[in-house]
Structure 1
Amino acid sequence: MDTVAFVKDLGWPGTDSRVYEIRVSNLVAICVSCWVLLEDGRFSGDVLPDEGLRERYFTLCERGNASQAKAFIDDLWRTADGMGLEELADWFAEMNDPTTITARYWVHDGVEYLDAAHTLPRDEASR
């Protein structure tokens, strides 16, 4: 099982752990769910991963057009599905206070890597 782990300087909210590990296969869903749960409307728009989505989001907010919300969320899912793993990890970090995330690493076959492509083993980077 491939995963990505985010390490915070303090624990993750609602846990007693400094490490939050996500299955790579769930990364799109976790990112979209995380975005949906953001409470600050301005911040929510600012962290959208696509300029077109940001513009649409702020337009929807200004007009209060709930009828287009489903189409917007569908497009957000499509955008997230088209993102690379590093982009998704960056987006996740951006939504979760990146200044407190001190490390990110990828786990593949029990080996920790510094990149999603599994080219830079974490233990070799410290040598």
Structure 2
Amino acid sequence: MAMKIRLARGGSKKRPFYRIVAADSRMPRDGRYIEKLGTYNPLLPKDSEERVKMDLDRVKHWMDQGAQPTDRVSRMLEAAGLLEKKERANLKKGEPGKKAKERVEEKAAKKAAAEEAAKAPAEEPAEAPAEEEAAE
């Protein structure tokens, strides 16, 4: 049986409250679970001790039995010091869209053209006084 340590949502509409549970991965999110391991209330301030409450001994027990925490729960366990911090890379999510890429390319092209234009006039005035002296 594949076990997960995950969040089960409770609370009313627009007022979320989650139980941290050990459940069979085949069960629905808010469905049957084996054991309640803690609670998570996202409406409380981040520095509040009441925001995340967990029975770390039971969490450790379930992880020893092979239960895998979900991403959100693993972040909470990292904050509690039970797991090592993972390197997370959201390569696709952080990548800009097509239009944004095109705008960046256009901006770079304009900047390069402006630098080129700035160099060209700087060279011409140096030659212009020499031509004026020759004409006299």
Give the TM-score of the pair, scaled to structure 1: 0.21
- Higher normalized contact order (CA 8 Å, seq sep 6+, divided by chain length): 1
Question: Larger Rg: 1 or 2?
Answer: 2
Q: Which has the higher helix share?
A: 1
